[in-house]
Amino acid sequence: MLRKFGHVLALTALLVAELVTLVSALLCLALTFGLGMVFLFPPQVRMTRWVTETARRLVERSSGVRIDPPYLPKPPPPQRQADGMYRADRTLYKSPRIPAWNDRLKWTLSDPATWRDLLWLLLDPLVKVTLLPLLVLLPGRGLRVYALWCELLLAATVSSRMAGRLDRLNRARNLAVDTQASEMRRIERDLHDGTQARLVALGMTIGAAERLMDSDPQAARALMAKAKEASAETLAELRRVIRGVHPPVLAERGLGDAVRALAMDSPLRVSVEVDLQYRPEAPVEAAAYFAVSELLSNAARHGGAESVRVDIGSAGSDLLITVTDDGWGGADPSKGSGLAGIERRLAAFDGVLAIESPPGGPTTASMKLPRALPEHWAGDIVKLPRWKAAVVVFLLSAAWCPLFPQGIVAGVVKVIAPENRSWFLALYLPEPWQWPCVAFMVVLGTAMYLTAVLLPATHDRETHTRQKAPKRVVSPQ
């Protein structure tokens, strides 16, 4: 309980920073759009985002609700043209500073999250005052409701998630292209320096045997025997190259059996544990296979290991792979030991590689490929009943009226122009009832928004709880 009150005090203390930021933001906006002082806008946005990011962290610590940032990806740095200049619209610059500044300004101005942050700054003090009794009497419930309010304006939207996903896909595409080009160069080098040289030598040996066939049949037979051995070695090397491109066992039997085949060919003692119910897609499977192959090769050539353990499993739709060896440790991706290549290969699928390799060992490489396995969740989607969906639509479409025109705007008009009643309901009431009516309208509108958010979330949670509850089995008599 004391910890919950501590979170409430932290959120209340943040209110001071919110009010200061709100005042400075309004002043910066007035100077930016009124006097053209656009250089004030980016610092104001950074300050506002610092406050909202602090609020996200406090909400996660207090309620466990994680709110992902909703901002669009940052613009890439300006690209230098062939003539050495940098272009911004139709203007050329010798330095990239001004084009980069222009891009950042457009980025902050066009990002809807910038204006949602300002709206949150404007409304959050009112929401905190409204929820103050609940936060004091039932801090756990109050913090949960406040988290839902913050999630309403500060969470990532569909467009921001799609933009972030597109940005990651572009980076992954570039990494995939670079990795593919590197693989093609490696295959070309292996064929040129290995297989091609062996085939040339094989042809020369057979030619020499043909010339000695009549004059020295015994020497010709010796050369043919040597040519036979060379052909066998060339075939074995060609098979190794093919396995380096895409091993047949991987396509036919899947990741588990392909890694077991790697273990059999490794000079180390390798144990493999596989717990996969579904196979990943072929590109993901290939990336995981070659990552494990590289780790086994590192353990044998650089790590001084004698035994390796490979665990392949899953967590939901994520593919998890752990490779542990008993070598002398000290593995570092920056030292060019092949780990950087594994990182690039996994990054093409949003995968990550974590290395734990203290001096003296052991070395543990943990790989995670998110959403790499088929997701069989379509039957678990919870549909909202029609009457609840209708209530949510009504609340979302009608809550603006009491909250803004009849609540916040009416209060502002009462302060600056009390004689102007216009269509504000509260201003037609007797003087003692006007402020209570304004406050009631603000509370009513906020409560309608919160109810529209809570209703689907509560239904979702209750339905999943019923689905996960153990079913009672009645044995036949």
Q: Tell whether 268 is covered by a domain.
A: yes
Predicted confidence (pLDDT) at residue 467 exceeds the cutoff of 60: no
- Host domain of residue 137: 2-72+111-156
Mean pLDDT of 102-112: 84
Asked whether the bond before 362 is cis by omega within 30 degrees of 0, the reply is yes
pLDDT at 333: 72
pLDDT given for residue 134 in this prediction: 78
Say if 21 falls within a structural domain: yes
pLDDT band at 169 (very low <50, low <70, confident <90, very high): low
* For residue 167, pLDDT beyond 80: no
Q: Calculate mean pLDDT across residues 87-100.
A: 78
Q: Rounded to whole angstroms, how far apart are CA atoms 199 and 237? A: 11
Residues 24 and 143 grouped into a single domain: yes
Token pair of 67, please?
């709110």
How do strand 352-356 and strand 318-325 relate by DSSP bridges?
Answer: unpaired
Q: In this structure, are 340 and 324 located in the same domain?
A: yes
For residue 173, being part of any structural domain is answered with yes
Better-scored residue on pLDDT, 265 or 237: 265
The share of the chain scoring above pLDDT 70, in percent, equals 84
pLDDT value, residue 460: 55
Residues 303 and 264 in one domain: yes
151 and 19 part of one domain: yes
**Of the residues 221, 245, 269, which one is the last residue of a structural domain?**
245
Instruction: Give the per-residue pLDDT at 367.
Output: 93
Exposed e or buried b per residue across 101-136, where buried means at least 16 C-beta atoms within 10 angstroms of its C-beta: ebbebebbeebebbebbbebbebbebbbebbeebbe
Residue 459: per-residue pLDDT: 63
pTM for the model? 0.47
pLDDT at 105 over 60: yes
The answer as to whether 227 is a domain residue is: yes
Is residue 54 domain-shared with residue 123, that is, in the same domain? yes
How far apart, in Å, are the Cα atoms of 264 and each of 161, 269, 299?
44, 9, 15
pLDDT mean across residues, the chain? 80
> Does some domain include residue 162?
no
User: What pLDDT score does 310 carry?
Assistant: 94
Given pLDDT bands bounded at 50, 70 and 90, which one contains residue 270? very high
As a whole number of angstroms, the distance between CA 91 and CA 22 comes to 35
pLDDT at 273 over 90: yes
How many structural domains are present in the chain? 4
pLDDT of residue 336: 58
Q: Residue 226 domain-assigned?
A: yes
Quick: pLDDT tens for 20-37: 998 998 898 888 888 888
Give the pLDDT band of residue 52 (cuts 50, 70, 90). Answer: very high
**Same domain (yes/no): 260, 189:** no
Angle at 236 between CA 234 and CA 239, to 5 degrees: 110
The yes-or-no verdict on residue 453 having pLDDT over 80 is no
Q: What are phi and psi of 393, to 5 degrees?
A: -65, -45
pLDDT digits (tens, 9 = 90+) for 193-202: 777 777 778 7
- pLDDT at site 446: 85
Burial class (CB in 10 A: 0-12, 13-18, 19+), 173: exposed
Whether residues 147 and 17 fall in one domain: yes
Question: In the predicted model, what is the mean pLDDT of residues 123-139?
Answer: 83
Q: What is the distance between the alpha carbons of residues 282 and 286, in angstroms, rounded to a whole number? A: 6
Domain boundary pick from 369, 404, 425: 369
Please, what's the largest Cα pairwise distance for the chain? 128
Interval 241-263: pLDDT, tens: 666 666 778 888 889 998 998 88
238 and 194 belong to one structural domain: yes
168: pLDDT strictly greater than 70: no
- Inform me whether the pLDDT recorded for 322 exceeds 50: yes
Residue 86's pLDDT is 79
Which whole-number Å values give the CA distances from 158 to 52, 68, 207, in the listed order?
Answer: 19, 12, 69
- Return d(Cα 308, Cα 300) in angstroms, integer: 9
Query: pLDDT per residue over 305-321, tens digit each?
Result: 889 999 999 888 889 99
What is the structure's pLDDT at 308? Answer: 93
201 shares a domain with 142? no
DSSP string, 298-335: HHHHTS--SEEEEEEEEETTEEEEEEEE-S-----GGG
Per-range mean pLDDT, top range of 5-14, 43-52, 392-401: 43-52
Q: With cut-offs at 50, 70 and 90, classify the pLDDT of residue 469.
A: very low
Chosen domain end from 228, 245, 262: 245
Give the span between the Cα atoms of 131 and 342, in whole angstroms.
Answer: 50
* One domain for residues 263 and 333: yes
Report the share of the chain in percent with pLDDT over 90: 9
Confidence of residue 461 (pLDDT cuts 50, 70, 90): low
465 pLDDT more than 60: no
CA geometry: angle 237, 238, 241, nearest 5 deg: 90
Predicted confidence (pLDDT) at residue 471 exceeds the cutoff of 50? no
Q: Are residues 205 and 340 in the same domain?
A: no
Task: Let me know if residue 215 belongs to a domain.
Answer: yes
Q: What are phi and psi of 62, to 5 degrees?
A: -85, -35
- Mean per-residue pLDDT for 433-457? 84
**Residues 349 and 395 occupy one common structural domain:** no
Reported as a single tens digit per residue, the pLDDT across 358-398 is: 888 788 999 999 888 875 433 344 456 777 778 887 887 78
Q: Is the pLDDT of residue 17 over 80?
A: yes
CB of 467 closer than 8 Å to CB of 379: no
Q: How far apart are CA 372 and CA 355, in angstroms?
A: 21
What is the 8-class DSSP label of residue 331? Answer: -
Residue 125 is assigned to a structural domain of this protein: yes
Q: What is the C-alpha separation between 257 and 275, in angstroms, rounded?
A: 12
Here the CATH number for the domain that contains residue 316 is: 3.30.565.10
Query: At 368, phi and psi to the nearest 5?
Result: -135, 125
Tokens (6 digits) for 376: 């069989």
Report the range of poorest mean pLDDT among 143-152, 205-214, 237-246, 449-458: 237-246
- Residue 374 sits at φ, ψ, to 5 deg, of -60, 140
